[in-house]
Amino acid sequence: MRAWRAYVDGGQRLMGVLNKDLQDAHDLTMAEYRVLVMLSESPDGSLRMSDLADGVLSSRSRLTHQIRRMESDGLVERSTCIDDGRGVLAVITAEGRRRLVEAAPTHVVSVRAHLVDLLTEHELTVLGDIFEKVDRAMGTASTKG
């Protein structure tokens, strides 16, 4: 029970602080930042909306609303997938790339200050191992059902 409550409370507080730091300094939410990171890491700066939703662990409808807001802010654009003409792509814009480059150092400093620098190298390794294991189990469970 101690471990579970510490995870829930600490995880929520950590995500809240990381979100606040990005919003205060760059007017970006963590959710927007994650989308921009995923798009920037794709070879052509675009991903199918379904793949993006899976990557940021969001429902397709929630992601659609988020992309609509990001599109109105000039961070992304939507276009039709050339491969099949039916899929929709989210594409990072030049403004989205600029905002991501601007926000990344703030995010790194925040993650270091509120997580990485608080832990030993061994604790970081264990933390990574734990959540890779959990993620694998959840991925396996979601493909079974």
Q: Domain map of the chain by residue range? A: 2-103, 115-145
Is residue 145 predicted with pLDDT exceeding 60?
no
> pTM for this structure?
0.87
**Top CATH class, 2-103:** mainly alpha
Band the pLDDT of 139: cuts 50, 70, 90. Answer: confident
Give percent above pLDDT 90 in the chain: 75
Least confident of 25-39, 66-80, 93-107, 128-142: 128-142
Q: Residue 43 carries which DSSP code?
A: T
As a whole number of angstroms, the distance between CA 94 and CA 83 comes to 23
Is residue 135 predicted with pLDDT exceeding 90?
no
pLDDT tens digits along 119-133: 999 999 999 999 999
Q: Which amino acid is at 48?
A: R
Band the pLDDT of 144: cuts 50, 70, 90. Answer: very low
Residue range 97-115: mean pLDDT, rounded: 98
**Residue 83, Cβ neighbours under 10 Å: how many?**
9
Is residue 143 predicted with pLDDT exceeding 70?
no
Task: Select the more confidently predicted residue: 116 or 57.
Answer: 116
CA nearest 18: which of 29, 6, 7?
29
Instruction: State the burial class of residue 144 (Cβ atoms within 10 Å of its Cβ: 0-12, 13-18, 19+).
Output: exposed
pLDDT tens digits along 44-81: 999 998 889 888 877 888 889 999 999 999 999 998 87
Report the mean per-residue pLDDT for the chain.
91
